[in-house]
Chains A and B, each alone.
Chain A
Amino acid sequence: DAMVIQNPRYQVTQFGKPVTLSCSQTLNHNVMYWYQQKSSQAPKLLFHYYDKDFNNEADTPDNFQSRRPNTSFCFLDIRSPGLGDAAMYLCATSSDRGLGYTFGSGTRLTVV
């Protein structure tokens, strides 16, 4: 089945230690998104790629970066995680700026 896969499902990292979350898709979708969701809050868009074009949200901290080496993979890098970065990170894809996403299962990040 075509899908969006996020690894790992659970990630524990130390305060200030760089961490990378990964997302892969077999849907061949042009657009890939990263959302951050904290408990009982709305998922918040961090950035997205339309093909290789990177689009950062204005309020996304510099601590968060992303890479998309090819159509299938997208990475979220947190350079120096703080306690406030503990959250669920959701990857989603869509085709040609079409509406309606396919989400991965998410990675729950804990910062200790």
Chain B
Amino acid sequence: DQQVKQNSPSLSVQEGRISILNCDYTNSMFDYFLWYKKYPAEGPTFLISISSIKDKNEDGRFTVFLNKSAKHLSLHIVPSQPGDSAVYFCAASRTGNTGKLIFGQGTTLQVKP
């Protein structure tokens, strides 16, 4: 019973183009969503988040879109850079649930020069 799913294990894009990473969730109680980035041999680092009261949040090259009716969120990276190559995890939480995050399986992004 996986409540957060990232159905694409990997994604390859050309430098300068847009990377779009997708995430689906099943629990309608989730009200906060986050993206983490993980390099090999390092722990995940926080990238960007969005509350369920919004449908878009932007931070520099990174934008997260939330479609509550579809229970879907996506991370857009524009323009993609080789240093963005990493594993990206989507995570979800619900207020009052002790801050527990439920993670997706991750998507490995490769940005080719």
Interface residues of A (CB under 8 A from B): 4, 6, 9, 31, 33, 35, 40-45, 48, 50, 55, 90, 92, 94, 97-106
For chain B, the bracket of interface size reads 20 to 34
Which residues of B1-50 have CB atoms within 8 Å of chain A's CB atoms? 2, 4, 9, 32, 34, 36, 41-46, 49
Q: Are A42 and B105 in contact (CB under 8 A)?
A: yes
Instruction: Give the contact stretch, choosing among B65-73, B75-83, B93-101.
Output: B93-101
Chain A residues near B89 (CB-CB < 8 A): 42-43
Q: Does B88 contact A (CB under 8 A)?
A: no
* CB-CB under 8 A for A99 and B99, given A40-B9, A42-B105, A42-B106: yes
* CB-CB under 8 A for A4 and B43, given A40-B105, A42-B4: yes
Q: Are A101 and B105 in contact (CB under 8 A)?
A: no
Q: Is the interface of B mostly helix, strand, loop or mixed?
A: loop
Chain B residues near A45 (CB-CB < 8 A): 100-102
14 CB < 8 A contacts A-B: A31-B99, A35-B103, A42-B105, A45-B100, A48-B98, A50-B98, A99-B34, A99-B99, A100-B34, A101-B101, A105-B41, A105-B42, A105-B43, A106-B41
Q: Are B100 and A48 in contact (CB under 8 A)?
A: yes
Q: How far is the CA of A98 from the CA of B106 in the complex (A)?
A: 23
Chain A residues near B106 (CB-CB < 8 A): 40, 42
Q: Are A106 and B49 in contact (CB under 8 A)?
A: no
Chain B residues near A55 (CB-CB < 8 A): 98
